[in-house]
Amino acid sequence: MSKKTLPRPASRYFYPWPIVLVTTIDNSGKPNIITIGASSICSSNPPMVGVAIGTAQYSLSLIEERGDFGVNLPRAGQVYEVDFCGSRSGRTVDKFETLGWTAQESSIITSPLIQECPVSMECQLRHSLQLGNHTWVIGEIVAVHVEEELLGADGSLDLAAAEPLISGWGEYFSLGEKIADWHYSRTSPR
């Protein structure tokens, strides 16, 4: 199969992106949500997560003011709410109120979490790195909240039941079928 070299390099050909909802709060106490496609785990010990936020985004100014943020993982069935939070600015809209979502108080950080999302993480800002038109904010995960039904006795997460929302450039998808366990090739022939 031949590959075409594109006339210009572009980030949109990197896929897929797990969609996350980053939560913040302003100085008047109004909470906000931004939809983020560009995110990654950056370290497992200590646990760190990074999200790329456009330099002009309202949410970036709130994270830099507060020094913390929430990372919430939506279900595929919450795609409308995800798209809403990615299509309007908290400068002019109260997204929690409009969507009827609950801003849940965090246990450590000042930013709230989304009660309706199955997984929420409290993150303290550790690094901020401006790269072109986005700034990567990297936070240490200082607390994690997971819906009990998703957890096995050993603390493992039932990923299929969490129904993550996946994206490529411009399109939403849900998770496909599980195909194998990590490291299965150590014991199974091809």
Ligand X SMILES: Cc1cc2nc3c(=O)[nH]c(=O)nc-3n(C[C@H](O)[C@H](O)[C@H](O)COP(=O)(O)O)c2cc1C
Residues at the site binding ligand X, with contacts judged by CB under 6 A: 19, 32, 34-38, 52-54, 57-59, 83, 86-91, 167
Q: Smallest distance, Å, CB 126 to ligand X? A: 19
Q: Smallest distance, Å, CB 53 to ligand X? A: 4
Query: Quick one: 37 or 164, whose CB is closer to ligand X?
Result: 37
Q: Under a CB-based contact definition with an 8 Å cutoff, are residues 85 and 35 in contact?
A: yes
3-state secondary structure of 133: coil
Query: Quick one: 59 or 106, whose CB is closer to ligand X?
Result: 59
DSSP letters, 53-93, are EETT-HHHHHHHHHSEEEEEE-BGGGHHHHHHHTTS-TTT-
Query: Quick one: 29 or 189, whose CB is closer to ligand X?
Result: 29
Q: Under a CB-based contact definition with an 8 Å cutoff, are residues 113 and 122 in contact?
A: yes
E strand map for the chain: 17-18, 20-25, 31-36, 39-44, 47-54, 68-73, 103-104, 113-114, 119-131, 134-146, 165-168, 171-174
Query: Quick one: 27 or 156, whose CB is closer to ligand X?
Result: 27
Q: Smallest distance, Å, CB 189 to ligand X? A: 40
Query: Quick one: 52 or 109, whose CB is closer to ligand X?
Result: 52
Q: Smallest distance, Å, CB 107 to ligand X? A: 24
Q: Smallest distance, Å, CB 133 to ligand X? A: 9
Instruction: Give the C-alpha distances (Å, rounded to integers) separating 38 from 9, 47, 130, 163.
Output: 17, 18, 14, 19
Distance of CA 21 to the CA centre of its chain: 5
Query: Quick one: 170 or 189, whose CB is closer to ligand X?
Result: 170
Q: Smallest distance, Å, CB 26 to ligand X? A: 10
Which of 28, 173, 51 is CA-nearest to residue 121? 51
Of all residues in the shown chain, the one whose CB is closest to ligand X is 86
